[in-house]
Structure 1
């Protein structure tokens, strides 16, 4: 199955996608209604963390896909797919709003990994955009292993630099 097949499946079955992205904010709302005072304690913080991950990872990938579509394929904003590009982000924002009312998002287990994922995807997109603009791959005679090594090295440097800035 390719990514295009996955997107086509999601477009062919919009009820499943809508159900998934509506269920997560509803579950966060229900969890907040069931336990108002101890949301920062286990098992509630793990439930909130799971809900945040279940909605944030698809939304982050949706944003990365949208940026890729606009920057590299020169797609139009007006051609944005509601189910694949808008709904995941809207569901993430709604879920974050609901969870933030119950517990500090920064105190959830594994939240730093989520911000690391955002940074790595952003760095990869920035490096790919830079390479696309300067056409570095057309005039170099380096083997592909060297280019991949440089790419991974730049990602590591960006990650280390971000950790130092974030502290």
Structure 2
């Protein structure tokens, strides 16, 4: 089964996908209501918020990365975009993060920094690949492949360090 097959199967049942993705912001809203107003009450719900963040961000980041890939590398037209698969997870992620941010700061949510790290890494890799694709720099060289991998990892670490200094 390919990724295209999975998307076609999901496209056949968009109502199920819509209900599944919209359940995350709905549950977030309910957790916001139930968690109370004092800091101690909200602190008890931080792991529930962490689960909700991951439930919203994993499909959202995947959809965002897929969209960037399809528009930059595959040159897909925006008119061919499948809203349930390509836009709804991003919308769900945005609504969920907005609801959570109103209640609790993100730095209190366990392992939230890992999501920003993975998003930074994905953005760096996509940026590097896009630059290589656009400049059409292909070199035949006698440099061992391990040196190329070490250089790529060093470049990612430099980008990660620069990103953390900027933000």
Shorter-chain TM range is 0.7 to 0.9
Say what the alpha-carbon RMSD is for the aligned residues.
1.9
Residue 84 (structure 1) shift: 1.1
Aligned position for 2:21: 21
Whole-angstrom distance in 1 between the partners of 2:83 and 2:149: 34
Aligned position for 2:125: 124
Of residues 147-156 and 29-38 in structure 1, the stretch that sits farther from structure 2 once superposed is 147-156
Pairing 1:3-152 to 2, within 5 Å after superposition: 3-37=3-37, 38=40, 40-42=42-44, 44-136=45-137, 138-141=138-141, 142=143, 144-152=145-153
* TM, length-normalised to structure 2: 0.87
Contact 1:39 1:103 in 2 (8 A): no
* TM, length-normalised to structure 1: 0.87
Whole-angstrom distance in 1 between the partners of 2:62 and 2:149: 22
Residue 34 (structure 1) shift: 1.3
Of residues 4-13 and 56-65 in structure 1, the stretch that sits farther from structure 2 once superposed is 4-13
Contact 2:63 2:89 in 1 (8 A): yes
Contact 2:36 2:42 in 1 (8 A): no
Contact 2:35 2:42 in 1 (8 A): no
* Count of residues in Structure 1 that have an aligned counterpart in Structure 2: 164
Residue 145 (structure 1) shift: 4.3
Whole-angstrom distance in 2 between the partners of 1:29 and 1:161: 35
Whole-angstrom distance in 2 between the partners of 1:39 and 1:50: 17
Q: 1:144 to 1:2 in 2, by over 3 A?
A: farther
Residue 109 (structure 1) shift: 1.1
Q: 1:53 to 1:39 in 2, by over 3 A?
A: farther
Q: 1:139 to 1:93 in 2, by over 3 A?
A: same
